[in-house]
Amino acid sequence: MEKELIILGIESSCDETAIAVTKGGKLLSNAISSQIAVHQKYGGVMPEIASRLHLENIGCVLDQALKEANITLDEVDAIAFTRGPGLIGALHVGVQAAKTLALIYNKPLIPVHHLTGHIYANEFIKPLKFPLLAVVVSGGNTELVYMKSHLNFEIIGETKDDAIGESYDKVARVLGLPYPGGVAIDKLAKNGKHTYKLPTPMHDKSLNFSYSGLKTAVINLKHNLEQKGEEIIVEDMAKSFQDVAIGMVLERVKMASEKYDVKEVVLAGGVSANSYLREEIVKLFEGSNIEVNIPPIWCTTDNAAMICKVGEYLYREGIFAPLTVSVDPSWRIEDFKKF
Ligand code: KG4
C-alpha cells in the first residue's frame, strides 16, 4: 500500500493568502485569509497592497492550517506552493515562505502551476475522467486545456487579449458595480433582458477567445447613451454582456468537444462560479456521452487545498525544485515541469 503523504500547500497568487494540509489526498485543513474587502475600496486588486497583506497574514494562516490539521511541520512530507501565474509580488511571498519552511524542516519543495490547481480541485469531489476538456475561466486566464491523462496538459484555445474575469471586472467597474465584478454582474443579469447589441468577437474556426473588444463596446455604448442624456439600464447591460461573454465560452467548448475525443468537461477557475455558465454547460451536453463536472463554489475561488492535490501527483512523479526556485508570473500550464 502507498504511504499516505502529508502535503502542506501554499497559495498567494492574487488576493487570497491560503495554506492547506492534505493526508492521502484528503483535506485536513484549508485556511484562507481573503483580502477582497480591502481591494473592494479600490474597485480591483491593488498588487502592492496584495503583497503587503500576504506578508502580514501568512504567519497566522500557517498557524491556523497546522492547528486545524493537528500536525507539526516535522510530520509534513513536502511543501507545495503556487509558483505562477499570478501577481509577481504576491507570488514571491508564498514562494519565500515555502522555501523557508523547506530549508528549516528539510522538506522537498514542489512548485505548482496555479491553473493545474483549479483543474485538480475537482478531484476533491470525484476523480477526473480522461480524456477531458478543462474550461479554465478566471480573473487572469481563459484557456481550453485538453488532458489525455494525469499531468498531461495541452492548451487548445486561449484568449488573445483580456481574460474573461478581467472583462467582467472592468465592465462592472464602468457600470459602477463593486469588485469582484463577476459576482455583481451574474446577480443583476438574472433580472435583466438582452436588449443591448454587443459584438461577438472572433467568428473564426479557432478555439481562441477575445474579450477586449466586448469590454470596449460596453464602455462606448455607455458613453454614447450618456451623451444623449440617456441612462444605461444596468440589469439589461449585465444580461447582454453576460450572454455574449459566456456565449463565447459555450461556443468554443462545443467546437472543442466535437474536434477532440472528450469523456468529461470540467469547469475551473473563479468564473466557473457563474450561474449562467453552470446551467448552460449542463444543457449543452445533456443526452450526450460527455459528462460535465461542475466544481462546488469553494473550489472555484483561490485556495491551497487544490495546490496540495496537484502537489501529491507531482510528488509521486518526483517533480521537486531546488531552493533557488523563483516565481513565474506568466508560467504556461504546458511548462508546469519547467522551473
Ligand atoms: O480564479 P480567480 O480568483 O482569478 C485568478 O486566479 O486569476 O477568479 C476571480 C475572477 C474575478 O474576475 C471575478 O469577477 C470572477 O472570477 N468571478 C465571476 C463570478 N464569481 C467570480 N465571474 C462571473 N460570474 C461569477 N459568479
Q: What average pLDDT does the segment 256-276 reach?
A: 98
Domains along the sequence of the chain with CATH? 6-119+300-335 (3.30.420.40), 127-294 (3.30.420.40)
Contact 198, 218 (CB under 8 A): yes
Note the pLDDT of residue 320: 98
Tell me the pLDDT band of 213, cut-offs 50, 70 and 90: very high
Least confident stretch, 34-43, 99-108, 230-239: 34-43
* Amino acid 202: pLDDT: 72
Give Cα 32 to chain centroid, integer Å.
15
How far apart CA 190 and CA 50 sit, in angstroms, is 32
Q: Cis before residue 127, ω within 30 degrees of 0?
A: no
Number of Cβ within 10 Å of residue 149's Cβ equals 9
pTM value > 0.85: yes
**Residues in CB range of 187: below 8 A, 6 or more apart:** none
Pocket test for ligand 1, best of 34, 168, 179 (most atoms within 8 A of CB): 168
Closest CA to 211 of 177, 244, 260, 252: 244
Residue 309 burial (C-beta neighbours within 10 Å; 0-12, 13-18, 19+): buried
Distances (CA, A) of 59 to 5, 189, 290: 23, 40, 44
Q: Quick one: angle between helices 164-174 and 234-259, nearest 10?
A: 170
d(CA 317, CA 237): 48
How many angstroms separate the most distant Cα atoms in the chain?
72
| Mean pLDDT score, 134-144 | 96
Atom of ligand 1 nearest to the CA of 172: 14
- Whole-number Å distance, alpha carbon 269 to ligand 1 midpoint, is 7
- Number of Cβ atoms within 10 Å of the Cβ of 174: 16
* Average pLDDT of the residues of the chain: 96
* Mode of pairing for the β-strands spanning 109-113 and 132-137: unpaired
CA of 174 to the centre of ligand 1 (A): 17
* Res 204 pLDDT > 90: no
Q: How far is the CA of 2 from the centre of ligand 1 (A)?
A: 37
> Residue 208: its pLDDT value, please?
96
Mean pLDDT of 243-255: 97
If one residue of 183, 211, 242, 306 were mutated to test the ligand 1 pocket, choosing by the most ligand atoms within 8 A of its CB, it would be 183
Looking at the DSSP assignment, which residues form a beta bridge with residue 34? Answer: 16
The per-residue pLDDT for range 285-328, each reduced to its tens digit, is 999 999 999 999 999 999 999 999 999 999 999 999 999 999 99
Residue 237 to residues 140, 168, 194, 197, 230, Cα–Cα distance (Å): 23, 12, 7, 9, 14
CB 52 within 8 A of CB 82: no
Q: What does R_g of the chain's alpha carbons equal in angstroms?
A: 20
Instruction: Pick the closest to residue 122 from 329, 332, 292 (CA basis).
Output: 292
Q: Taking the CA of residue 302 as centre, how many other CA atoms within 13 Å lie in the half-sphere pointing to its CB?
A: 27
Distance of CA 173 to the CA centre of its chain: 20
Residue 43: per-residue pLDDT: 83
CA of 93 to the centre of ligand 1 (A): 22
Model pLDDT, residue 201: 76
Which atom of ligand 1 lies at the shortest distance from residue 114's CA?
6
Residues at CB less than 6 angstroms from ligand 1: 14, 138-141, 165, 168-169, 180-183, 186, 269-271, 273-274, 301-302
- Confidence band, pLDDT 50/70/90 cuts, at residue 207: very high
Instruction: For 37-64, write each residue's pLDDT tens digit.
Output: 999 888 889 999 999 999 999 999 999 9
**pLDDT at 1 > cutoff 80:** no
Mutational pocket test of ligand 1: of 214, 271, 274, the residue with most ligand atoms within 8 Å of the beta carbon: 271
The rounded percent of the chain whose pLDDT value lies above 70 is: 100
